[in-house]
Chains A and B, each alone.
Chain A
């Protein structure tokens, strides 16, 4: 993906120089191997710091909420779908945006890469589809496709769905035989097994809310867990309160979640919170034939009403 970096920089520099945008939001290299940092370039000079690699795991749509400037933004498939969500939900205007689309080849799981070496990874580089990781003792080369994040291996919208410029060529969208194998496995559990599964899933949650704050859908001015009058949820490490947070947050994402994986990328405790949102993605598809963030002219199924709704109870 190296060549993407050069193209992104060129486009961003031009946008800033021409005054078409006030800022460009993208990624720059982090301070430790494999880290990228969401970054806002205000000048053409700063835009030369923009980068792209297989660790751009957060979702940049999260940085658009209620901004007023004209913004250039780098968007892989999932970011672009969340930009669509943001436009539909009036969190940003389409006119404010110049979207630099990046056909995505998938992001990798840094913990999986770390597990390949006995010692800490001290250097990282990539060339085409080959990634090179090294510790002080050893260096190995691996293929990106073999170490994708779980959500990236299940992604069927790698190309941006909305853009003004496209970096590189569109990539072939994968066709999955059984896209919801993981959800089906949980659905097949009996009640007790399922309860224990979710108990175990949330074990270790410290309620830092990194999942919520990394999520571009979670832009409520006051989250329900932060309300104090009335206080909906207890704030301690009580199991029921922790579950309430996760269950309710997931439901708020129904029909809106793009499975971008920012929640899991941000979680310091490695909690598989997508187990909840994946079920809602499946339900949205099966019940409403809906995939989130594909079309700026359509509202998500749970915030619309149609007079010709097929269900009687709603009429």
Chain B
């Protein structure tokens, strides 16, 4: 694998060069918090951000996304017929995405791009995107990615992995997409073997800095029904206020709701992030709600992340250990504790 050395003095220039061919997304400060957002004008990504409140999933899965549109004007051709929205899928790049977030996008792909169905909106956006990751040298106290099949230097889902060595970025070029981005940015100085060794040392230090260990080894063999009927769900759910914070900040929560809106003769169909924490999420037209109780909804979220997904795809849990939900939950419901509870659960015979 090719490793390129980028002197930090050259970084801004390279980002500006890439901007000519890519729509760039990166971590930026919005009021008091950092989020991933499209970079405006000459705006630079803030590469020193430890953690963003929201994950970069919106780069391929916007919170509100136009899918279809139609005109209701009967004098126009093809009126009342929905056609695909005119979305821009020209190349885009997410700069500074953290390895666990790229891993998350890889997991989400299992859902949006299957043998039976291909979600054209998500997949086209994903195909258009180059993920230029930034390794996590100093993991936050909420980071437990090493327990969840990822890690601070994980390369899965990335096209380039940047490693910050103070004066320079060392860029591991992982895919052809990554190669094309680096060429476009004008980064072409090959790193020396000494530089490459630095990456390994930083990686080791970062992995050791993550002290939270979450156990997932038994989840696969546990009976789904046993876990579903486990007695701890009421206690786990008691404090939950059923807001959507955990699902919205989560890099792997992919559920959405579809809405139609009409103004005059213009009608659009769009989707919004939805949340399994909301009772409305599962309310049937008949009035019946299979997850009408809070405990059922809280259980659903953890079972989906840590059991159903694992059983269905056999690609690990659908939690990458970013720790955002632990940090943002208003009532401190901690997925690490819930995962350990599930992993250790033995039904009373």
Question: Which residues of A line the B interface, CB within 8 A?
Answer: 30-32, 35-40, 58, 62-63, 111, 120, 122, 203-204, 206-210, 212-214, 226, 228, 234-238, 265-266, 268-270
Contact of B248 among A39, A62, A206 (CB under 8 A): A206
Chain A contacts for B345, CB-based, 8 A:
none
Q: Is residue B208 contacting chain A, with contact meaning CB distance below 8 A?
A: no
Given contacts A31-B334, A58-B331, A265-B330, contact A237 B245 (CB under 8 A): no
A157 to B259, CA, bound (A): 45
Q: Is residue B313 contacting chain A, with contact meaning CB distance below 8 A?
A: no
Could you give, for residues 226-244 of chain B, a 1 whenever the CB lies within 8 Å of some chain A CB and a 0 otherwise? Answer: 0000000001001101111
Contact A237 B278 (CB under 8 A): no
Chain B residue at minimal CB-CB distance from A208: B244
A206 to B324, CA, bound (A): 15
Contact B332 A36 (CB under 8 A): yes
Chain A residue at minimal CB-CB distance from B142: A32
How many residues in B have their beta carbons less than 8 Å from beta carbons of A? Answer: 42
Q: Is residue B126 contacting chain A, with contact meaning CB distance below 8 A?
A: no
Q: Is residue B275 contacting chain A, with contact meaning CB distance below 8 A?
A: yes
Given contacts A32-B142, A206-B248, A236-B259, contact A37 B31 (CB under 8 A): no
Given contacts A39-B238, A214-B330, 5 further A-B contacts (CB under 8 A): A37-B239, A38-B239, A122-B141, A235-B272, A270-B32
Given contacts A39-B239, A226-B278, A270-B31, contact A234 B261 (CB under 8 A): yes
Contact B241 A266 (CB under 8 A): yes
Chain B contacts for A212, CB-based, 8 A:
243
A269 to B328, CA, bound (A): 9
Contact of A269 among B33, B279, B337 (CB under 8 A): B33
Contact B31 A62 (CB under 8 A): no
A167 to B332, CA, bound (A): 25
A235 to B279, CA, bound (A): 15
Given contacts A31-B332, A210-B241, A266-B243, contact A236 B141 (CB under 8 A): no
Chain B contacts for A63, CB-based, 8 A:
238-239
Chain B residue at minimal CB-CB distance from A221: B279
**Complex interface residues of chain B between 233 and 279 (CB less than 8 A to chain A):** 235, 238-239, 241-245, 247-249, 257, 259, 261, 270, 272, 275, 278-279
A255 to B98, CA, bound (A): 46
Chain A contacts for B336, CB-based, 8 A:
31
Q: Is residue B63 contacting chain A, with contact meaning CB distance below 8 A?
A: yes
Question: Which residues of B line the A interface, CB within 8 A?
Answer: 30-33, 35, 53-54, 63-64, 140-142, 235, 238-239, 241-245, 247-249, 257, 259, 261, 270, 272, 275, 278-280, 326-328, 330-334, 336-337
Given contacts A31-B326, A206-B63, A206-B248, contact A213 B331 (CB under 8 A): no
A199 to B327, CA, bound (A): 27
Q: How far is the CB of B270 from chain A (nearest CB, A)?
A: 6
Q: How far is the CB of A208 from chain B (nearest CB, A)?
A: 4
Contact A62 B241 (CB under 8 A): yes
Q: How far is the CB of B99 from chain A (nearest CB, A)?
A: 19
Contact A32 B245 (CB under 8 A): no
Contact of A210 among B31, B32, B243 (CB under 8 A): B243
Interface centre among B140, B141, B247, B334 (most CB of A within 10 A): B141
Given contacts A40-B238, A265-B330, contact A208 B31 (CB under 8 A): no
Contact A268 B31 (CB under 8 A): no
Contact A237 B334 (CB under 8 A): no
Contact B245 A235 (CB under 8 A): no
Contact of B245 among A31, A120, A203, A210 (CB under 8 A): A210
A206 to B244, CA, bound (A): 9
Contact A268 B53 (CB under 8 A): yes
A71 to B96, CA, bound (A): 50
Interface centre among B31, B235, B270, B272 (most CB of A within 10 A): B31
Given contacts A226-B280, A234-B261, A235-B257, contact A213 B272 (CB under 8 A): no
Contact of A30 among B33, B54, B249, B332 (CB under 8 A): B332
Contact B259 A268 (CB under 8 A): no
Q: How far is the CB of B236 from chain A (nearest CB, A)?
A: 10
Given contacts A32-B142, A208-B244, A210-B243, contact A236 B332 (CB under 8 A): no
Interface centre among A36, A37, A268 (most CB of B within 10 A): A268
Interface centre among A39, A63, A206 (most CB of B within 10 A): A206
Chain A residue at minimal CB-CB distance from B279: A226
List 20 contacting pairs A-B, 8 Å CB cutoff, sorted by A. Answer: A32-B327, A38-B238, A38-B239, A40-B235, A63-B239, A203-B31, A204-B35, A208-B244, A208-B247, A209-B243, A213-B243, A214-B243, A226-B278, A228-B280, A234-B261, A236-B64, A236-B272, A237-B64, A268-B248, A268-B328
